[in-house]
Structures are given as C-alpha cells and as structure tokens.
A = this chain, B = another copy of it.
C-alpha cells in the first residue's frame, strides 16, 4: 500500500468510527445532529486519528478497536474549529472550503454543536471497546489535560487571542504553539500508546515524537498561511498577518521557519528509533506533516 492509499484507508477507518458514534441526522433534535455532522464530515485529513492508530500499531499487533479512541481526537479537533471560527473569536466564514458551521446553522447551534462534540469525545473514550477501564480512564485524563487550559489547547487559544498585536516574541510563540496544537498532537500519539498497552519507554518515545511532529505541524501551518492562497488551503489565507498573530514567520522570517520545521522533522524521526521498522509509517507521517501543501 503506498502512502496515498494508506492515508485514504486511515481516513475511511476514522470516518466509519465517527459514523458509528455520531447520532444520526434523523435522531432528534435533528438540527444539532446535522450541525455536528456537517462539521465532522467536511473532508478533514484525519491526521490526528491516523497518528493515534499508527502509534498503537507501532506498539502492538493487536489493537483492534483503536479507531474509537482515534475518532475522539477528531471530535475534539472539530469542536475547537467550530468554536474558533465563531464571530467572537476568529470570525471566519470559510473552513475546509465550505461555509463555517455558524454561517450555516447560526451561532447558537454552532456553540452547542461544539459543546456536544467535546462531550461526545469523552463518552467515546469511556465506552471504547478493546481496552480495559484503566486504559479508558487514562485516555480520558490525557485527552482532557491536552484539551484544557494549563499547557493544553484552550490555554493556547487564550494565549493566541491575547497575543494578537503584541510584539512577536520567541518564548511566547513557543508557549502558544506547544499548547494550541502541540498538546493535542502529542495526545494523539499517547492515546494510541495507552490503548495498545505501551511500556513506559515506548510511551515516552511516542510522546516525544508527538511533540516534535506537533511543533513541525504548527510551523508549517504558519508558513502555509503566508505562502498559499485561500483556494489552495480551503480556508482564509493570510489571516494571521491580518490579525497580527504571533507566528513563526513573524518571529523568525520564512527561511528560518523552514529550517526550524526541518529540525523538528529530524527530531521526530530520531524519537522513535527504538521501534525500528514497526514505525515506518510514523516516519512517513512526520515527512508528510512537513512536506504538505494544505
């Protein structure tokens, strides 16, 4: 299976799990279920679930059911996009090439749909098959911490909002991005590791891989916002500069930012050496994160 086929298979497996967990559009109250599905099934790349499933595979040959844990990450990611796009936050009309959730369903429904996806993510982990209750509780704790205010995603969003217009500063930049995208990326690897019963050395290696891949992901995201068009990205390009966000290009310039992404790529590769050939796909995914064009 080449990389393209592999990614398509991972997306399909994720989508099938999401399909099972999301209430049907015909289930009442229908409006919110339509809103939740509209945003979840909007053609996301499913990079977090794929990283989660691949982390489990690096640890164990028997991780059947890991797609449930994996889909919880996509539910969190999607909720954060819906709330981030709201008028009170980034006020964005376009996401994955389509009108944002609140443009289609209204602000009230977008707020509640985000809340519902966030809630569902924890329900999925608490009820996931193929893992014992200790694994379930550990996954809930890890995902909640990674999504929270102290070093987690919400904390990063707050720093990002409050950093707008401030003097670009390397320390602030790193703290924003470690939290805003890095924590959830790392959690993707960790959930897979927990699900598959990783030993502490394996857990630590996958965590470090997640940190470096996560930082690379954010640097590249910042670069794409400068270097690509809205059409290519499927979301509004150039908005970081317009909103005076603290980004890698703003702090370090384009050339240095590209070089930093390369450094994180190398560190990500090095972190998972202990897995040998079992981590072949993770190596490919690290490359994909740096080399992607959207």
**Bound-state Cα–Cα, A283 to B177, Å:** 51
Q: In chain B, what residue has the closest Cβ to A36?
A: B149
Given A147-B119, A149-B33, A159-B29, are A141 and B114 also a contact pair (CB < 8 Å)? Answer: no
Residues of chain B within 8 A (CB-CB) of A29 are: 149, 155, 158-159, 162
Q: In chain B, what residue has the closest Cβ to A160?
A: B29
Q: How many copies does the complex hold?
A: 2
Say what secondary structure dominates the interface of chain A: helix
Interface range on chain A (Cβ under 8 Å from partner): 35 or more
Please determine whether B141 and A23 come into contact, CB atoms closer than 8 angstroms: no
Residues of chain B within 8 A (CB-CB) of A123 are: 140-141, 144-145, 148
Please determine whether B89 and A108 come into contact, CB atoms closer than 8 angstroms: yes
A9-49 vs B, Cβ < 8 Å mask (1 yes, 0 no): 00000000000000100011101110010000000000000
Top 8 closest pairs, chain A to chain B, by CB: A123-B144, A88-B107, A126-B140, A126-B141, A29-B158, A133-B133, A136-B137, A133-B134
Residues on A lying within 8 angstroms of B by beta carbon are 23, 27-29, 31-33, 36, 79, 83, 86, 88-89, 106-109, 111-112, 114-116, 118-120, 122-123, 125-127, 132-134, 136-138, 140-141, 144-145, 147-150, 152, 154-155, 157-159, 161-162
Q: A28-B159, A114-B115, A116-B149 are in contact. List 14 more A-B contacts (CB 8 A).
A: A79-B115, A88-B108, A89-B108, A108-B161, A112-B154, A116-B148, A116-B154, A119-B152, A123-B148, A125-B140, A126-B138, A126-B144, A127-B137, A137-B140
